[in-house]
Every structure is written in C-alpha cells, then in structure tokens.
C-alpha cells in the first residue's frame, strides 16, 4: 500500500515537472519566436509607462500573442524597468524579445513626427515629416517658410502638440549670424531671447537636434562651441607656409571661399587664388566682401554692385583695401575651412563665373579678360532670352 502511494506520488511529481518544463519551454519559444505582426507599426512609450500597459497596447495592435508571457519574459530578462520614453518602429513578425530590445535601448525615437527647420542663405524652410511604418519611409505632411506671414499649416501645429515629435535645426553653409538670430526667433518650439548677435563666422553650419522648449541662447552656444572645436582641430593640421597669423584669419578666408562658390571641387582652387594674390600684394577684389560691408549681413543686397560702392573705402571693400577684411563675412562650413588651410597648388590669380554654377580660372590678366568677355556674352544672351519670353 505504502509503496503504491509513493509510486503514484513520484509519478505525479514527474508529470508535474514535465508539465512545468513544457510550459517554460513553450513560454521561451513564444517570447523569442516570430511574432504575429503582419506589418511594421509604431509603438509609443509614454513617460512613466510600465510593461503591463505596454503589453495591453501591443496585444491590441496584434504585435504579441500573449500578454502574460511578454510581462514574464521582460521581468526575467531584467528589462521590465528599462522602458525608454519615445516612439519606436517595431518591425513585422518581431519577437517579444526583439520588441523589448527596441523599447529599452533608448536613443532617438525611430517613429513619429520630425520637424526640420532649415536656415538658408536666401530663405528658410520648415519641413514636417512623419514615418509611415508600413513602408518605413518618411512622408512629408507640411512645408512652409516660417518667415512668411500667415498661419502655419495644420501639419506643423499638430506636430507641436505631439509629445514625442523630434526637432532639428539645420544651418546652411554661408548664412550670416544675423540671419541665424532672426530665423531662430521664428522657431516657436524654442524658448528665450538671444541677448546678443553672435560674432560673424563663429557658428558651425551643421544639423542640430534640439528638444522642444530648449533655449535659443543654449542652441547658439552649442553652435559656437562646435565651430570653435572644428577650427581648433583643423588649425592644428594646417598646411605649412600659410600666411595666417591666427585661426581667426583662416576663418575670415574660409568665409570668403564659402561665399564665392558652392561647388565643392572649387573651394581649394578659390583659396589658392586668394592666397596667390596676397603673396603678390594684389587686392582680393571679392564682391561678397563688398556686399557684406553694405548689408552687414542683414539679408541679400538684391541688386548688382554700383561703381560708387566698388570705389568707396570701407573695411570690407577688397577692391580698395589690401589684405583680408576685418571679420568673416558669413559662417563657413568645415569644408571651406579645410580649403583655407589646405589650398590647391596653383598659379591662378583670377576666376570668373561660367554662368553654369562654377568658375573658370586664369593665371594671366589677358586670359582672365577673355573669360570675362565670355561670361558677359553669356549674361547678355540670358537677358535677351528673358526679354524674348
């Protein structure tokens, strides 16, 4: 009798053990195996969210098949307390383990809405994009000029209300500090005043990720710090034999290069022309510097230079003064600074626009005059074509 009871108990224990082991194996397979999601979705994690709430959301969206397994798997993998605020892309058939990895890794959100504020040389632009999870592509929902009058489009105002919208401010190469200051006043996702216009040339034209409510002054400081770091790094690696006495002089030269060409392959050649002229005591005669002396960087001139302006003695009139102007005339990008510090090895002393976006270079005045004549013929033809239309 006793042996029968013991035998039955042992059998029951074995059955229970196997059943538990089977449940555990099933749970592990369910947690790590492919999920039921037919196509990618965005999953939002609110501040203070917990795994229980996330599991209900995922279950409702068809991303997981069992909420209990998800919660237990998150707990035993020590990730239940590691949820990160944001909106994240969950791929089709992602396992529960994959989903927890996505929701706890942190970093920039991979889903939701993105606002890009681009500060350009001639105009500004705000573009609002939203990720379509099914196609994993950004779709534009609004685009407008923030400096224009009138209400902002609905897509933008909606983006401002979404708590996980990402914001980015992008500076184009060649913008002036005044332009940056005035444009940032229109960035209504930023706060605070800019007490003082930053020195010309000291802002790095790059892309800056910002948070809603970040101060404008803090962003300006970040731009200045980045430009200072770039200049320090490149100055230490500069070519031998350059005439610059200080990094600031190299920054001034870089700003002239930046405003003279938007063609990347020309920057080092433009630098060589300016440095060759300085070496021979020839005035730089660069129009962008003269224009800056007139506008102080407060927008575009909007017309051609007058003869009287080319003859007027101002600190920025490089047709009259010798050497460099006293300050940069814009905020140059890293490539322009590199060109100023690593010019091409040429004998060029002149360049003129081709009319097709680039420049043609010359070593002699006679060759340059020929190139100028060709440019003027091209310009006259353009004007005639416009008049004919």
Residues 68, 369: Cα–Cα separation, whole Å: 82
Model pLDDT for residues 33-46, shown as the tens digit of each residue? 887 888 887 788 87
What token pair was written down for 40? 């990618």
What token pair was written down for 181? 């200051």
Which residue is associated with the tokens 């630098």?
Answer: 271
Burial 194-229 (b: 16+ CB within 10 A, else e): beeebebbbbbbbebebebebebbebbebbbebbee
pLDDT value of position 51? 83
Q: Which CATH class is domain 29-111?
A: alpha beta
How does residue 22 score in pLDDT terms, banded at 50, 70 and 90? low
pLDDT value of position 4? 62
Q: How far lies 314's CA from each of 197, 311, 330, 352, in Å?
A: 22, 9, 17, 23
Which residue is associated with the tokens 């606002």?
Answer: 115
How does residue 234 score in pLDDT terms, banded at 50, 70 and 90? very high
Query: Is the pTM for the entire model greater than 0.85?
Result: no
Q: How far lies 147's CA from each of 50, 55, 187, 200, in Å?
A: 42, 44, 10, 21
What token pair was written down for 375? 């440019």
Q: Tell me 215's DSSP state.
A: B
What token pair was written down for 150? 């009138």
Which residue is associated with the tokens 């002089």?
Answer: 249
Residues 303, 289: Cα–Cα separation, whole Å: 15
Model pLDDT for residues 76-95, shown as the tens digit of each residue? 788 777 888 777 888 888 88
265 neighbors 352 (Cβ within 8 angstroms): no
Residues 222, 190: Cα–Cα separation, whole Å: 14
The fraction of the chain above a pLDDT of 90, given in percent, is 52
50 neighbors 85 (Cβ within 8 angstroms): no
What token pair was written down for 195? 């007490």
Which of 238, 318, 337 minimizes the C-alpha distance to 278? 318
Which of 271, 239, 244, 241 minimizes the C-alpha distance to 255? 271
pLDDT value of position 202? 97
Model pLDDT for residues 136-179, shown as the tens digit of each residue? 788 898 999 998 888 889 999 999 998 888 899 999 999 999 99
338 neighbors 270 (Cβ within 8 angstroms): no
Model pLDDT for residues 345-370, shown as the tens digit of each residue? 999 999 998 877 789 999 999 999 89
Average pLDDT over residues 246-271: 96
pLDDT value of position 53? 86
Average pLDDT over residues 276-281: 96
SS in 3 state form for 171-213? Answer: ECCCCCHHHHHHHHCCCCCCECCCCCCCCCCCCCCCEEEECCC
Give the alpha-carbon dihedral of 140, 146, 148, 154, to 10 degrees: 50
Contacts of 201 (CB under 8 A, 6+ apart): 177, 227, 251, 252, 254, 255, 327, 328, 329, 330, 331, 332
Q: How many CA atoms, within 13 angstroms, populate the side-chain half-sphere of residue 95?
A: 13
Residue extents of the structural domains in the chain: 29-111, 113-231, 238-348
pLDDT value of position 9? 59
Which residue is associated with the tokens 């053990």?
Answer: 17
Q: How many CA atoms, within 13 angstroms, populate the side-chain half-sphere of residue 255?
A: 31
Residues 349, 270: Cα–Cα separation, whole Å: 9
């Amino acid at each position: 009798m006793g042996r029968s009871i013991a035998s039955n108990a042992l059998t029951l224990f074995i059955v229970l053990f196997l059943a538990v082991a089977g449940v555990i194996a099933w749970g592990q397979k369910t947690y790590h195996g492919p999920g039921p999601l037919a196509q990618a979705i965005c999953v939002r994690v609110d501040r203070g969210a917990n795994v229980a709430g996330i599991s209900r959301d995922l279950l409702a969206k068809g991303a997981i098949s069992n909420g209990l397994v998800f919660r237990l798997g998150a707990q035993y993998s020590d990730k239940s307390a590691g949820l990160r605020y944001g909106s994240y892309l969950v791929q089709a058939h992602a396992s529960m383990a994959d989903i927890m990895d996505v929701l706890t890794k942190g970093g920039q959100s991979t889903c939701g809405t993105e606002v890009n504020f681009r500060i350009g040389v001639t105009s500004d632009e705000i573009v609002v994009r939203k990720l379509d999870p099914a196609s994993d592509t950004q779709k534009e929902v609004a685009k407008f000029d923030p400096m224009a009058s009138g209400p902002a489009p609905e897509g933008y105002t909606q983006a401002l209300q979404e708590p996980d919208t990402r914001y980015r401010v992008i500076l184009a190469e060649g913008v002036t500090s005044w332009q940056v200051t005035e444009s940032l006043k229109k960035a209504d996702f930023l706060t605070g005043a800019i007490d003082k216009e930053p020195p010309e040339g000291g802002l790095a034209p790059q892309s800056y990720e910002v948070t809603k409510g970040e101060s404008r002054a803090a962003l300006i400081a970040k731009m200045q710090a980045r430009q200072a770091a770039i200049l320090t790094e490149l100055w230490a690696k500069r070519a031998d034999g350059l005439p610059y006495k200080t990094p600031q002089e190299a920054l001034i030269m870089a700003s002239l290069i930046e405003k003279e060409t938007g063609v990347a392959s020309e920057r080092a050649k433009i630098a060589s022309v300016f440095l060759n002229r300085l070496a021979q005591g020839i005035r730089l005669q660069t129009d962008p510097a003269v224009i800056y002396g007139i506008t102080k960087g407060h927008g575009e001139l909007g017309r051609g230079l007058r003869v009287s302006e080319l003859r007027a003695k101002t600190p920025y009139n490089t047709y009259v003064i010798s050497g460099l102007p006293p300050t940069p005339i814009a905020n140059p990008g890293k490539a322009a600074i590199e060109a100023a510090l690593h010019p091409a090895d040429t004998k060029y002393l002149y360049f003129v626009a081709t009319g097709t976006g680039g420049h043609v270079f010359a070593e002699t005045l006679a060759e340059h005059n020929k190139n100028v004549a060709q440019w003027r013929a091209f310009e006259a033809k353009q004007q005639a074509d416009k008049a004919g239309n």
